[in-house]
Structure 1
Amino acid sequence: MTRFDVVVLAGGAAQRLGGVDKPGVSVGGRALLDRVLLACREADRAVVVGGRRATSRPVVWAREEPPGSGPLAALSAGLRHVEADTVVVLSGDLPFLGDGSVRKLVEALAGSSAEGVLSVDPDGRDQPLVAAYRTEPLRREIALLAAEHGNLIGLPLRLLMNELNLVRIPAGPLASFDCDTWEDIAAARARIREHGNVLDEWITAVKDELGIDLEVDTGVLLDLARDAAHGVARPAAPLTTFLVGYAAAKAAGSNPGAVADAVADAARKAAALADRWANEAGDGDGPRTGSGAGAP
Structure 2
Amino acid sequence: MEFDAVILSGGRSSRLGGVPKPGLMHDGATLLERALQAARGAAAVAVVGPDPGTLPEGVLSCREDPPFAGPAAAIAAGLSALERHRGADSRHLPAAPFTLVLACDMPRAGAAVRTLLEAAGQDASADGLMAVAADGRRQPLVGLYGTAALERSVTEAGQRGALDNASVFALLASLEVREVPVPEGSTDDVDTWDDASALGVTVPPGSHGRDSHTAASRHGAPQQNSTLEASGEEPG
Q: TM-score, normalised by structure 2?
A: 0.75
Structure 1 counterpart of 2:8, which letter?
Answer: L
Higher normalized strand content (fraction of residues): 2
The separation in 2 between residues aligned to 1:115 and 1:45, in whole angstroms, is 20
The separation in 2 between residues aligned to 1:90 and 1:180, in whole angstroms, is 15
Residue equivalent to 1:19: 18
- Residues matched between the structures, number: 188
Q: Larger relative contact order (C-alpha < 8 A, sep ≥ 6)?
A: 2
Q: How many angstroms does 1:159 deviate by? A: 1.1
Q: How many angstroms does 1:173 deviate by? A: 2.1
Residue equivalent to 1:153: 164
115, 121, 124: which one aligns with 1:104: 115
Structure 2 counterpart of 1:47, which letter?
Answer: A
- Kindly report which structure 2 residues correspond to 1:127-276, keeping only aligned pairs within 5 A, or say none: 127-148=139-160, 150-189=161-200
Question: Is it true that 1:120 corresponds to 2:132 in the alignment?
Answer: yes
Q: How many angstroms does 1:56 deviate by? A: 6.0
The separation in 2 between residues aligned to 1:60 and 1:6, in whole angstroms, is 10
Residue equivalent to 2:225: none
The separation in 2 between residues aligned to 1:138 and 1:22, in whole angstroms, is 26
Structure 2 counterpart of 1:127, which letter?
Answer: Q
Q: How many angstroms does 1:142 deviate by? A: 1.4
Q: Which moved more, 1:38-47 or 1:2-11?
A: 38-47
**Any gaps of 5 or more consecutive residues in structure 2?**
83-94, 202-236
The separation in 1 between residues aligned to 2:129 and 2:102, in whole angstroms, is 12
**Any gaps of 5 or more consecutive residues in structure 1?**
191-296
Q: How many angstroms does 1:151 deviate by? A: 4.4
Map Cα deviations across residues 137-194 of structure 1 (whole Å, 9 max, x no partner).
101011112222x24111111112221011111121211011111111111118xxxx
Higher normalized helix content (fraction of residues): 1
Q: Which moved more, 1:107-116 or 1:165-174?
A: 107-116
Map Cα deviations across residues 187-211 of structure 1 (whole Å, 9 max, x no partner).
1118xxxxxxxxxxxxxxxxxxxxx
Structure having the higher Rg? 1
Question: Is it true that 1:63 corresponds to 2:63 in the alignment?
Answer: yes
Q: How many angstroms does 1:54 deviate by? A: 4.1
Q: How many angstroms does 1:104 deviate by? A: 2.4
Q: TM-score, normalised by structure 1?
A: 0.60
Structure 2 counterpart of 1:137, which letter?
Answer: A
Identical pairs, percent: 40
